[in-house]
Amino acid sequence: MIETIKPDIIIGCETWLKPSVSQGEFLPSDYTVYRKDRPDGYGGVLLAVQTSLNSHEITITSETELVAA
C-alpha cells in the first residue's frame, strides 16, 4: 500500500519493533524514519517522512512514547 499510494508522511504506533530491526526491513529507502522503540519490542512509535521533504528530528526528553520532526 505504501509503494502504491506513496504518502509524504507515515505515522505509526504500536510498531512492536526492537531497536535491532533496521528501517530497510519494513519501509522503502525513500523515507527518513524517526523511531522510539521499546527495548522489549512491545509498543513503540515512528514517524516516516519522504526524503524529498526537508525534515529533522526534534529531540524531546521524556519517557513518553513520542517522536517529533
pTM: 0.88
Confidence of residue 64 (pLDDT cuts 50, 70, 90): confident
What share of the chain has pLDDT > 90, as a percent?
A: 74
pLDDT of 19 > 90? The answer is no
The 10 Å CB-count burial string (b at 16+, else e) for 11-33 is ebeebebeeeeeeeeebeeebbb
pLDDT of 55 > 90? The answer is yes
